[in-house]
């Protein structure tokens, strides 16, 4: 028979045990599940709801908070968690889906998703994200807004071709406003980089590589702070340019790239396209792959990875690109 002292001791262990928290983020709600004590709460995905969530978490022995990358819906929450100095891991949604299938969790609700995310955190211990400084958050906001303006410009230009005459003038006016906004934002981004000695030096190093222009450099600096701090395999996987095997039994499928940071991958694609013409190392590599019979798309993806590895090495060793013919 357990004594009262033993019962109290076990209860104390339970209350002090490290807690893994999973958060399922949607447009309206934050569904929160704890893995250790199995508690579940729902908060609004708005300033008040986020503050209530953080206040509630203060009473928990948080080991790690895990959530999926949702394309931006999670960013306000992540910023406040970082300000509260709480450890956060942002995970590729595919990893969560694969984990759910592996444990036989096929049903899907917001509450179940939050529990699966918490279980994933407790089972795999994903690495906590480095907490961004206020300056880094502002820089990221600049780049995110630039991408949004580009998307709006593309949409409006497409609409202009099919618009009736009565609407064309309005669309053209909006396009002109967006173009001015983009120009002003680019000036702000340039000024922002030049005000920071660290970013100014990193920008100089990145842009020493033929094919890397101001947009690519700024996007990578803001969206890929890990560049230069981890090895080539990890940086390629992080961006989503590392080929992954999909073999099963005797079936051997083509290796594919997926996941990762889409915003970095999109600018890296344009940079690789330029580098395949003007960067002697990338050009020689691209030509070699084509001569071996590789498809242009496959060869260009390989160039993206090679360019990324090159940029990673340049920042790691703090050395400008040596413009010389490849051996």
Work out the average pLDDT over 27-45. Answer: 93
Domain assignment of residue 145, yes or no: yes
Range of the domain at 227: 209-244+257-327
Q: Please report whether residue 188 resides in a domain.
A: yes
Residue 319 is assigned to a structural domain of this protein: yes
The answer to whether residue 269 sits within a structural domain is: yes
Residue at 9 is within a domain: no
Same domain for 109 and 138, yes or no, is no
Residue 128 has pLDDT above 90, yes or no: no
Residue among 270, 267, 268, 273 at smallest CA distance from 286? 273
Q: Say if residue 314 is in the same domain as residue 271.
A: yes
155 and 231 in a single domain? The answer is: no
Most confident of the ranges 10-24, 214-228, 230-244:
214-228
249 within a domain of the structure (yes/no): no
Q: In what order do the strands lie in the sheet with 88-91?
A: 40-44, 29-34, 19-25, 62-68, 88-91
Domain co-membership, 293 together with 217 = yes
Domain termination residue (choose one: 124, 157, 181): 124
User: What does the block give as tokens for 27?
Assistant: 């447009």
The mean pLDDT of the chain is 85
Give me the number of domains the chain comprises.
Answer: 3
pLDDT for position 259: 59
Structure confidence at residue 6 as a pLDDT band (50, 70, 90): very low
201 domain-assigned:
no
Domain harbouring 105, CATH code: 3.30.420.40
What beta strand segments (E) does 54-163 contain?
Answer: 62-68, 88-91
Domain shared by 85 and 157, yes or no: no
The answer to whether the beta carbons of residues 224 and 239 sit under 8 Å apart is yes
> Residue 2: inside a domain, yes or no?
no
Please tell me the pTM assigned to this model: 0.67
């Amino acid at each position: 028979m357990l004594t009262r002292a033993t019962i109290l001791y076990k209860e104390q262990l339970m209350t002090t045990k490290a807690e893994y928290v999973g958060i399922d983020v949607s447009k309206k709600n934050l569904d929160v599940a704890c893995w250790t004590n199995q508690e579940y709460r729902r908060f609004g995905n708005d300033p008040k709801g986020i503050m209530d969530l953080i206040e509630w978490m203060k009473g928990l022995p948080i080991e790690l908070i895990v959530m999926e990358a949702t394309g931006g819906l999670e960013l306000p929450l992540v910023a406040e968690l970082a300000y509260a100095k709480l450890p956060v891991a942002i995970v590729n949604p595919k990893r969560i889906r694969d984990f759910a299938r592996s444990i036989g969790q096929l049903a899907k609700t917001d509450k179940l998703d939050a529990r699966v995310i918490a279980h994933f955190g407790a089972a795999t211990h994903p690495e906590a994200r480095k907490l961004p400084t206020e300056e880094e958050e502002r820089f990221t906001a600049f780049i995110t807004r630039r991408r949004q303006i580009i998307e709006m410009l593309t949409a409006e230009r497409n609409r202009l071709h099919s618009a009736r005459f009565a609407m064309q003038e309005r669309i053209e006016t909006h396009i002109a406003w967006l173009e001015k906004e983009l120009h002003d934002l680019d000036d702000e981004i340039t000024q922002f980089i030049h005000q920071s000695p660290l970013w100014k030096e990193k920008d100089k190093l990145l842009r020493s590589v033929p094919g890397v222009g101001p947009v690519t450099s700024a996007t990578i600096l803001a969206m890929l702070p890990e560049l230069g701090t981890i090895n080539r395999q990890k940086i390629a996987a992080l961006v989503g340019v590392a080929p992954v095997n999909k073999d099963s039994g005797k079936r051997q499928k083509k290796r594919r790239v997926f996941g990762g940071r889409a915003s970095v991958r999109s600018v890296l694609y344009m940079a690789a396209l330029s580098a395949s013409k003007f960067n002697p190392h990338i050009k020689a590599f691209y030509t070699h792959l084509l001569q071996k019979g590789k498809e242009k798309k496959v060869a260009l993806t390989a160039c993206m990875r090679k360019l990324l590895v090159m940029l990673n090495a340049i920042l790691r060793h703090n050395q400008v690109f040596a413009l010389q013919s490849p051996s």
